[in-house]
């Protein structure tokens, strides 16, 4: 018999966070999060996402052992302001038992129906800066710190429980050697001259911080046209600055300004922390922090996390300026592999952006949808 219990205490929240450590203990591909960071993610006093979202965490028990978990999420900005009648769910993990997955999804469905929402979709997070999608191809590749990993049987559970594909995401990678300057070096000079633009680079995090708010504003403008986009607010900006920007190499954050010093484009790249996080095993101490700092300094793999371009400058080649700056930085660092975060299958513009780098699609993931009416 499966029992579903709502997470109400800090102790239960920790059980929720730590369940994947048991589920994936034998997987060489799963990348564990830092437990303290995950605990903060689900702390309403720490994570500003809770100001605009209603979140309920559930644990599934069988024979008094935890066998599954799910986060049921309603983003009220999405529902009330964008008029998207969606019940979100994420952090969805379970053993290969259809009764377990069904019981958890039924709890999500109950909440959605209670609020008269039209459909449920997952796995997704609170916003567009959270992890997204269940892995459907590429199970034999190591994950990243910004994606979920899952066992292959998850697909069957979604489909058996009556879910259908909603969105497909692709993950690509390419050798840095493919980033031949001939594809962008000349365009870099032409674009800078034509639009009076200039690159801006930093070597100290404290110098990056004043630009961070502008960067998040531009992020909202850049991605507003994509389906299911939920903008980040002022409180979230401060949270993400503290959580992410302060830990990313400052030389991996690039800006492009116009002649009036307005921000027109930015790029955020981070070193791959996957191996370091596996060594850390969820803890910063006693040695986890050392592994992470070592990866920050010495990782030869990088992840292109975000690229944003102001709508007025999209399709005008401004990314050539960013690529040219990254080429110089990556050459100096000895980078050998470039990895891209999940990108919507429907995002034709991003495919065009990277086509000359001959990227390889090595993973696919998707979200699933089910009607609630």
Exposure class string for 153-181: b at 16+ Cβ within 10 A, else e: ebbebbeebebeebbbbbbbbbebeebee
Beta bridge partners of residue 367, listed in sequence order: 167
272-300 pLDDT, tens digit per residue, is 999 999 999 999 999 999 999 999 999 99
Q: Domain coordinates of the chain in residue numbers?
A: 2-169, 175-369
The least confident of 68-77, 99-108, 125-134, 176-185 is 125-134
Bridge pairing between strands 301-309 and 337-340 = parallel
Q: How many C-beta atoms lie closer than 10 Å to residue 16's C-beta?
A: 22
pLDDT at 228 over 80: no
Bridge pairing between strands 253-257 and 263-271 = antiparallel
pLDDT for residue 326:
97
| Domain 175-369, classified CATH 3.40.630.30, yes or no | yes
16-31 pLDDT, tens digit per residue, is 999 999 999 999 999 9
Tell me the C-alpha distance between 105 and 69, whole Å: 10
Tell me the C-alpha distance between 370 and 373, whole Å: 9
The least confident of 95-104, 239-248, 251-260 is 239-248
pTM for this model (two decimals): 0.93
Rounded mean pLDDT, 199-218: 92
% of the chain exceeding 70 in pLDDT: 99
Q: Where are the beta strands (DSSP E) in the chain?
A: 2-6, 53-62, 65-75, 86-94, 119-122, 134-137, 164-175, 198-200, 253-257, 263-271, 301-309, 337-340, 343-344, 360-371
Q: What is the mean pLDDT of the chain?
A: 94
Confidence of residue 36 (pLDDT cuts 50, 70, 90): very high
In angstroms, the Cα distances linking 77 to 45, 74, 83, 102, 128 are: 19, 9, 8, 28, 13
Rounded mean pLDDT, 86-114: 98
Q: What are phi and psi of 119, to 5 degrees?
A: -155, 165
Rounded mean pLDDT, 243-266: 93
Helix 185-195 to helix 319-333 angle, to the nearest 10 degrees? Answer: 130
Is the fold of 2-169 the same as that of 175-369?
yes
Q: What are phi and psi of 49, to 5 degrees?
A: -60, -25
Rounded mean pLDDT, 182-202: 96
Query: Per the structure block, which two tokens stand in for 143?
Result: 């994950």
The hierarchical CATH code for the domain 2-169 is: 3.40.630.30
Please name the residue ranges forming H helices in 1-77.
10-23, 35-41, 76
pLDDT for residue 227:
60
Bridge pairing between strands 134-137 and 263-271 = unpaired
pLDDT at 225 over 80: no
Bond prior to 53 in cis (omega within 30° of 0):
no
Rounded mean pLDDT, 227-253: 81
């Amino acid at each position: 018999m499966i029992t579903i219990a709502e997470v109400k205490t800090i102790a239960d929240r920790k059980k929720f966070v730590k369940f994947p450590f048991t589920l994936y203990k034998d997987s060489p591909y799963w990348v564990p999060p830092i437990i303290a960071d995950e605990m903060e993610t689900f702390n309403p006093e720490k994570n500003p996402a809770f100001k605009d979202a209603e979140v309920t965490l559930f644990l599934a028990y069988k024979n008094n052992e935890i066998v599954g978990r799910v986060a049921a999420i309603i983003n009220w900005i999405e529902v009330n302001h964008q008029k998207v009648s969606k019940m979100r769910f994420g952090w969805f993990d379970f053993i290969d038992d259809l009764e377990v997955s069904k019981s958890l999804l039924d709890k999500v469905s109950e909440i959605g129906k209670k609020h008269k929402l039209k459909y449920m979709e997952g796995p997704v997070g609170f916003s567009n800066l959270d992890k997204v999608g269940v892995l459907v191809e590429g199970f034999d590749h190591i994950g990243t710190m910004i994606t979920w990993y899952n066992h292959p049987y998850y697909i069957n559970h979604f489909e058996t429980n009556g879910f259908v594909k909603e969105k497909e995401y692709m993950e690509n990678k390419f050798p840095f050697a493919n980033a031949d300057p001939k594809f962008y070096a000349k365009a870099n000079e032409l674009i800078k001259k034509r639009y009076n633009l200039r690159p801006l680079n930093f070597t100290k995090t404290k110098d990056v911080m004043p630009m961070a708010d502008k960067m998040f504003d531009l992020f909202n403008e850049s991605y507003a046209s994509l389906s299911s986009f939920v903008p980040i607010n002022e409180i979230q900006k401060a949270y993400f600055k503290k959580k992410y920007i302060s830990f990313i190499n400052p030389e991996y954050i690039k800006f492009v300004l116009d002649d009036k010093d307005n921000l027109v484009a930015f790029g955020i790249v981070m070193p791959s922390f996957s191996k370091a996080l596996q060594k850390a095993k969820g803890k910063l101490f006693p040695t986890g922090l050392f592994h992470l700092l070592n990866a920050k300094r010495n990782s030869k793999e990088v992840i292109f996390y975000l690229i944003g371009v102001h709508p007025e400058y999209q399709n005008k080649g401004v990314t050539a300026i960013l690529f040219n700056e990254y080429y110089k930085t990556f050459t100096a660092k000895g980078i050998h592999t470039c990895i891209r975060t999940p990108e919507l299958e429907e995002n034709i513009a991003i495919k065009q952006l990277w086509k000359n780098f001959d990227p390889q699609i090595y993973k696919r993931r998707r979200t699933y949808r089910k009607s609630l009416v």
